[in-house]
Structure 1
């Protein structure tokens, strides 16, 4: 490396070849797991393996080609990680489909429907990258995104289209299709929070009034975003969707801390969370039940509502041990929602703790890449957008896997890219597209400046070195 290169920075390589190699490994995971399901459950290779593998390969290759053409400097690790998780999730759903059919239960086509939703997610992924050439354009729609997010959260309250499932009113039903608008709302609120915080970060960071150990900003600076956050939280509480409430609260707190760089906000947020949790436990029966199930699961095993699902999931994971029982040798169907909220328990029972740790590592890498993107981003909006999108994945994975493994009370969220659910899968593919767009902008060489050479120096010494 030249001396000028060491002073001015490195040039990011495109690394699309590395991404392609990792995608091949990811496809081997997805297609191999699908074949292993057929061998483990039915004793033969699935008859539709070629068609399934071709469809999955076409989707992933289409996403890769799009990134290569319109975002050549994007992060090369994100897409393979997502492809591997999505492929493994499809295989596990197929395993549950075969078990339900063998036991004479209702015909389920979770894997087929999830593949259709994945197709839609990849299409929107491609559309987002092609249409959104600069993520900074989203900053113009700060308040529009915030209002849209709140309206999406209100939709389940509307008559005729709003639906209540398992005690939570978070679904809408249009033309026979169920959709969870909160999944899209989380992306809209990340854009809104990032746009507002980057615009008012100086005012929020400056001390307005010191209360105990926290420097609070002026009310007129913090008021609008607090109002937006309060309305969204109120809606989520009224919907009895405490998992999403925790997700949005954590998202807001993380982005506020990153924007202001004041640790005091974490303390304030922790105190508010503790007070809110205590109030919810005291006055909300559903929250009290979940805490009781978490603390004493065996005491509520036979009750309704009870801890039957949690106990069966914990026993299944314990039976799976370190390397699992193998596809077809477990009993994940004993857990009613093994295909959605408890899909990690299915993986833990049949693939063992090793597979669960590998999945957690994949999610950790996704979050790490998002934070890396935030660090190298050249604009404040891109930094906060990447942090917010990474925080969504981190918080959701912690809440879901923590609940299934007994670390924290159950909350009812889906595991990104693994669990069955169209709205979650589609929204998370858009999240990945936004992260890739920010990373492409951040890793792209800085614009070349015209050298000014009035001294007659040779052109080589006046060349502008590309920034990292």
Structure 2
């Protein structure tokens, strides 16, 4: 009698969870459609909905053949968030929803390509300098004349013909791989409680300088904050030396003071955060409308498609406020729980990873996902100043969606290899 392998069981559970995620997406789409068109006829063969629902199943097929032992919960959670985001974008702006469906197709294709080519995550360590050069090049590519584009006061976009994207999203992954590789190589030096001199703080100083350059040149506070805080946390986790948290906190406060005094965008965001009503007609308008949206939604929300949220940029920066109005506290809590489960699964991959580089890389990728989620949610509910970042998987944005699916593929590949090793060590079949 043939014994079922753990990989087979993981993929079976993944398929079951994907079906549940697709059912939730379809149900939400039906509610949103009836909210907008009470007497309309539902077309369940809507091509855009079909893409969003069926394309993740293609990723599942790729997992069966290329990453059969990877954790079963990562892809379904991403699919659920992606599907709910598509539905809300469709309620607010059908044209953007069509584009989001196409970006879902492209992103899942990139996921499959990444799963196929990155067979051994440790191999990324060998290309760290190439990835660093490419990452920095992409990071500052919006400054190039002719292709760089300034939107909303931030020069983050590259425009090539009819295609626009934010190269900073891909850049953060490339720089994360470089910084992880550097930390693994210099770990003994960086972990010493004594000795090493100022060289121990060189990586943080380098990252701090890069963050200041991003704020000064591209006016992007969010990404500068993300890359700096990520690296400080990874250095602390990787070395176990708490001095990096202290040094990072002091450096962060210094950067905040300098940035607030020298850079108008930093001062403006802090000022709006402290008192949005003082800027109600200008920069504080979005934040005030977001608070109104949460108030209107209350506990259970007004219902998908029934309230037509008027929050500015509701499909991207403030999509969480739109969910707050239409799904209420219960709906937004479910979204937060989904993100927590996704982040928890990423941490589990990091803790179980076989190999120092893979473990720290999985931790870095998960921290990026967690911090980006936290910063945007905290900004919308006014716990922190707004950062202008995109909520992973949920918000409209092709660059963000593509990058997060690549991030997910790296986590899946690390999970596959670590589970294979652990299963063999425990004497399981397959």
Q: Deviations over 1:322-346 (max 9, x none)?
A: 11001222231x2221111000000
Aligned to 2:356: 380
The residue number in structure 1 matching 2:32 is: 37
Q: Does 1:325 align with 2:302?
A: yes
Contact 1:150 1:231 (C-alpha < 8 Å) held by counterparts: no
Aligned equivalent of 2:54, options 38, 53, 58 = 58
Residue among 219, 233, 238 paired with 1:254: 233
Give the unaligned 5+ runs of structure 1. Answer: 1-9, 99-108, 210-216, 450-463
Q: Does 1:465 align with 2:424?
A: no
Q: Is the 8 A contact 2:204 2:231 kept in 1?
A: no
Could you tell me how far 1:236 is from its partner in structure 2? 4.0
Deviations 1:408-439 (A, max 9, x none): 11111110011111101000000000000000
Determine if contact 1:309/1:335 at 8 Å carries over to the other structure. yes
Which is richer in helix?
2
What is the Cα deviation at residue 225 of structure 1?
7.0
Match of 1:455 in 2: none
Is residue 296 of structure 2 the alignment partner of residue 301 of structure 1?
no
SS at match of 2:146: coil
The number of equivalent residue pairs is: 425
Corresponding residue for residue 23 of structure 2: 28
User: Could you tell which deviates more after superposition, 126-135 or 283-292?
Assistant: 283-292
Q: CA deviation at 1:163?
A: 0.8
Corresponding residue of 1:102: none
Aligned structure 1 segments of 4 or more residues deviating by more than 2 angstroms = 10-14, 44-58, 217-233, 445-449, 464-468
**Following TM superposition, by how much is the alpha carbon of 1:235 offset from its aligned partner in structure 2, in angstroms?**
2.9
Q: CA deviation at 1:47?
A: 2.7
State the 1:466 CA deviation: 5.1
The equivalent position to 2:90 in structure 1, one of 94, 117, 121, is 94
Q: Does the 8 A contact of 1:373 with 1:439 survive in 2?
A: yes
- For 1:270 and 1:14, the matched residues in 2 are separated by 44
Aligned position for 1:280: 259
- In structure 2, C-alpha distance between the alignment counterparts of 1:421 and 1:48, rounded to whole Å: 25
- Say whether the 8 Å CA contact 1:377–1:442 is kept in structure 2: yes
> Could you tell me how far 1:283 is from its partner in structure 2?
2.1
Structure 2 residue ranges without an equivalent (≥5): none
Would the alpha carbon gap of residues 28 and 176 (structure 1) be closer, same or farther in structure 2, given more than 3 Å must change? same
Q: Aligned-pair distance for 1:54?
A: 3.1
> Aligned with 1:289: secondary structure?
helix
**Where in structure 2 are the equivalents of 1:148-187 lying within 5 Å?**
148-187=134-173
- Aligned partner of 2:12 in structure 1 is 17
1:240 corresponds to: 219
Q: Does 270-279 or 432-441 show the bigger shift?
A: 270-279
Residue 201 of structure 1, CA deviation: 0.7
Larger of the two Rg values belongs to structure: 1
Residue in 2 that maps onto 1:122: 108
Partner of 1:268: 247
Please give the alpha-carbon distance, in whole angstroms, between the structure 1 residues aligned to 2:194 and 2:8: 45
**Pair 381,14 (structure 1): closer, same or farther in 2 beyond 3 Å:** farther
| Contact 1:36 1:45 (8 Å CA) reproduced | no
Alpha-carbon distance in structure 2 between the residues aligned to 1:224 and 1:276 = 16
Distance (whole Å) between structure 2 residues aligned to residue 229 and residue 307 of structure 1:
29
Deviation for aligned residue 1:220 = 4.7
- What corresponds to 1:76 in structure 2? 72
Counterpart Cα distance in 2 of 1:298 and 1:448: 60
Q: Report how far residue 307 of structure 1 moved.
A: 0.7
1:409-424 superposed matches below 5 A: 409-424=385-400
TM-score, normalised by the number of residues in structure 2: 0.94
